[in-house]
Amino acid sequence: MAALHYETPLVESDLASQRAGCKVLLKLENVQNTSVYKIRGIGHRCRKVIQEGCTHLVSSSGGNAGIATAFAGRKLGVPVTVVVPESTPEVMRERIRKEKADVIVHGKVWDDANSKSLELASQPGYAHIHPFDHPDIWEGHASLIYEIKSQLNGAKPGAVIVAVGGGGLLNGIIHGLQAVNWNDVPVIAMETEGADSFAAACKAGKLVTLPDITSIAKCLGAKTVTQKSFDLTKEHPIVSCVVSDKAAVNACDKFLDDHHCLVEPACGAALAAIYEPHFLVDLQEKGRLSSSQNLDNVVCIVCGGNGISIELLLKWKRDLGLS
């Protein structure tokens, strides 16, 4: 059966390269089905549980994973319920409904919505579709690297930039890098202040649960990252970086100017590594990235996202003093 996701373009961006000071390639997951990379892993997982006999999918989500689950369920003919927290914007809730799924709003942040979804999913025939913490999800996201490898004709990227929420994308990217023997390609793991559970774990040397999610990048808002993400810090070169909401929103705004694509702040966190002046060069100068690392072909995963509209972007720009 045909995959639920598309192969997306990998484009060399002169404008992004000029901003970053090295050759930047953009992996445009914003043009993916459902406008976000999520469908790769979620689609793979949904298909598996349906093959195993599941008759109802239950997703807990900041929004995008729910949209991807709803899309997969509609395509595969299985009803879907998505539990989102109050912080999920109306544009995302509406998008889920358009995929014919039921939306339940529960709790303040994703972790609260997740507890509720686990309760619902305990009914017979129901399956819980976690937004980031499952090996099937990582396996599905790893397809990003297989595509990139073929699009680069096997040439190695200088680094891969990803946004980190609960760590599902990060785990999938590293799963892919390990599978193609690109064990020395560093991953730059980007988060925003107030949604920085991966950085907190790296600093503490163990998993940390944040007291609250205060960043506007709610889709990065998992209070605790997966154990797997933390374990991977011992296996693979990962540079954990935290940027402000202002830097993430500024990156969304500049990306819109440069490429005419509108993405949400969760994706802006990754783009900030390109759009914050000297960001990558500084990482090298500070020794966080090896100075011998050839930064040509830095791949930024433009993860996309539905939690954005022109109105929201203008509001955040005003609130953060960017306009």
CA distance 7 to 28: 10
Task: Choose, by CB under 6 A, the member of 266, 271, 308, 312 that binds ligand PLV.
Answer: 266
DSSP 40-78: HHHHHHHHHHHHTT--EEEEE-SSHHHHHHHHHHHHHT-
User: Are the beta carbons of 22 and 29 closer than 8 angstroms?
Assistant: no
Per the listing, tokens 């050839």 go with: 294
Near ligand PLV by CB under 6 A, which window of 143-151, 153-161, 219-227, 232-240?
219-227
Q: Does 131 bind ligand PLV (CB under 6 A)?
A: yes
Q: Does 267 bind ligand PLV (CB under 6 A)?
A: yes
User: Under rule CB under 6 A, how many of the chain's residues touch ligand PLV?
Assistant: 27
**CA 108 to chain CA centroid, nearest Å:** 20
Task: Choose, by CB under 6 A, the member of 43, 140, 158, 167 that binds ligand PLV.
Answer: 167
| Residue whose Cβ sits closest to ligand PLV | 62
Task: Choose, by CB under 6 A, the member of 25, 36, 39, 248 that binds ligand PLV.
Answer: 36
Q: Does 169 bind ligand PLV (CB under 6 A)?
A: yes
Cβ neighbours, 10 Å, residue 227: 13
Cβ neighbours, 10 Å, residue 206: 10
Residue type, 286: K
Q: Does 101 bind ligand PLV (CB under 6 A)?
A: no
> In whole angstroms, how close is the CB of 234 to ligand PLV at the nearest point?
19
User: Are the beta carbons of 227 and 176 closer than 8 angstroms?
Assistant: no
Whose CA is closest to 118, among 144, 81, 91, 148? 81
Q: Does 163 bind ligand PLV (CB under 6 A)?
A: yes
Cβ neighbours, 10 Å, residue 261: 16
Near ligand PLV by CB under 6 A, which window of 73-81, 151-159, 235-243, 302-310?
302-310
Q: Does 164 bind ligand PLV (CB under 6 A)?
A: yes
> In whole angstroms, how close is the CB of 251 to ligand PLV at the nearest point?
13
> In whole angstroms, how close is the CB of 196 to ligand PLV at the nearest point?
12
Q: Does 64 bind ligand PLV (CB under 6 A)?
A: yes
CB closer to ligand PLV, 25 vs 39? 39
Task: Choose, by CB under 6 A, the member of 221, 250, 289, 297 that binds ligand PLV.
Answer: 221
Whose CA is closest to 144, among 116, 168, 112? 168
> In whole angstroms, how close is the CB of 114 to ligand PLV at the nearest point?
9
Which residues have CB under 8 Å from 94's CB, separation 6+? none
First and final C-alpha spacing in the chain? 48
HSE at residue 139, side-chain half, CA atoms within 13 A, is: 9
Q: Does 243 bind ligand PLV (CB under 6 A)?
A: no
CB closer to ligand PLV, 110 vs 275? 110
HSE at residue 132, side-chain half, CA atoms within 13 A, is: 29
Near ligand PLV by CB under 6 A, which window of 12-20, 96-104, 157-165, 173-181?
157-165
Q: Does 132 bind ligand PLV (CB under 6 A)?
A: yes
Give the interface with ligand PLV as residue ranges (CB under 6 A).
36, 61-65, 110, 131-132, 163-170, 219-222, 264, 266-267, 303-305
